[in-house]
Amino acid sequence: MSWTDGKESGRRARTDGAQRALLARRLRELRAASFASGSALARTLLADYPDAKWHQTRVSKLETGAQRPTEPDVRQWAAATRATDDATTELLELLSASRVEYATFGQLYRRHGSALADQAATTARDAETSRIAEFQPSMIPSLVQTTAYAREVLSLPCGPSSRGVSADEIEKLVGERVRRQDVLYEPGKTIQLVMGEAALHVRFGPRETMIGQLDRLATVAGLAGVELGVVPFSAPFPVYPLTDFILDDGFVLIESITAQQRLDGADEVALYGRFFQQLRDAAASGPEAVRLIQRVAADLRS
């Protein structure tokens, strides 16, 4: 396939979420046209760019899609393989598009094999990262949900059952979500959770479920590695409280009812980092957050 012929398939890939795979294939095609092996390309790149730490393993990861390249990676690869200006431009466009990944939960379930496997992948990701920062405008973050609260949320008609997940599978999802909370007690982890006060009032299930959840929140707030903040109704909101987001090491996850969007661009990640800091600054935390949580719980009990 020529580079000109490939432009239309590039456009289709950008709409169906295959940008990263297409970028890897384009890199592989360029390498194969100029070098007999990835090792040969790695040696050339290392000679031309000694500070870039090129090696065969890295070349292999880039051309199989196991690792996303940086812009310097793409430019150096294009130069070493004598790519045309048009080819280099397409690579950079694909790189930009690959930094935003949109996938429905049905697609994520199929990608990992099942809804339970997708939840387990989230647990594994948490185990590997050193910092997890999450904002929820009107729901308790999943990392601190009780079993009863998680069951009510996951059993909603708009939840996994809308993608064909059975009641038995949902019960296993609840167990995996609770197991994921082991990360709260791991030394060396930084867990920062911020929610709007609305999260303390929006009801899922009976009153007793919500009371138990609020009691759990007050307990979690005292954990050494957990920072829990609540933006009270009385405080001006510093950002649009339209959607939740998770700020992980190097990327952002944004969820809607039906899908998940992942942002990997450094500029977007930096912006969300700044927004999250503004939310932290506006939130009540520590004993002040606990008093607010206990006050809402007392109102429910009365």
Judged by DSSP in three states, 103 sits in: strand
User: Which DSSP string do the residues of 191-254 spell out, in sequence order?
Assistant: EEEEEETHHHH---S-HHHHHHHHHHHHHHTT-TTEEEEEE-TTSPPSS-TT--EEEETTEEEE
CATH assignment of 6-98?
Answer: 1.10.260
- Give yes or no for residue 188 having a pLDDT over 80: yes
CA dist 211 and 228 (Å) reads 18
Q: Which residues contact 302 (CB under 8 A, 6 or more apart)?
A: none
What is the value of pTM for the model shown?
A: 0.74
CATH assignment of 102-301?
Answer: 3.30.870
Give percent above pLDDT 70 in the chain.
94
7: its two tokens: 């432009």
- The 10s digit of each residue's pLDDT in 241-257 is 888 999 887 889 999 89
- Predicted confidence at residue 14, as pLDDT, reads 38
CA-atom Rg of the chain in angstroms: 23
- Give yes or no for residue 98 having a pLDDT over 80: no
Region 168-182: what's the mean pLDDT?
95
- The 10s digit of each residue's pLDDT in 19-78 is 788 899 999 999 999 999 999 999 999 999 999 889 999 999 999 887 888 889 999 999
Region 7-23: what's the mean pLDDT?
54
112: its two tokens: 């990992």
CA dist 184 and 188 (Å) reads 10
Contact 213, 140 (CB under 8 A): yes
Check residue 199 and give left, alpha or beta (phi > 0: left; psi -120 to 50: alpha): alpha
Region 87-110: what's the mean pLDDT?
86
CA dist 34 and 77 (Å) reads 11
Q: Which of 12-21, 65-74, 209-218 has the lowest mean pLDDT?
A: 12-21
Region 195-203: what's the mean pLDDT?
97
- Predicted confidence at residue 262, as pLDDT, reads 85
- Give yes or no for residue 105 having a pLDDT over 80: yes
Domain boundaries, the chain: 6-98, 102-301
- Give yes or no for residue 96 having a pLDDT over 90: no
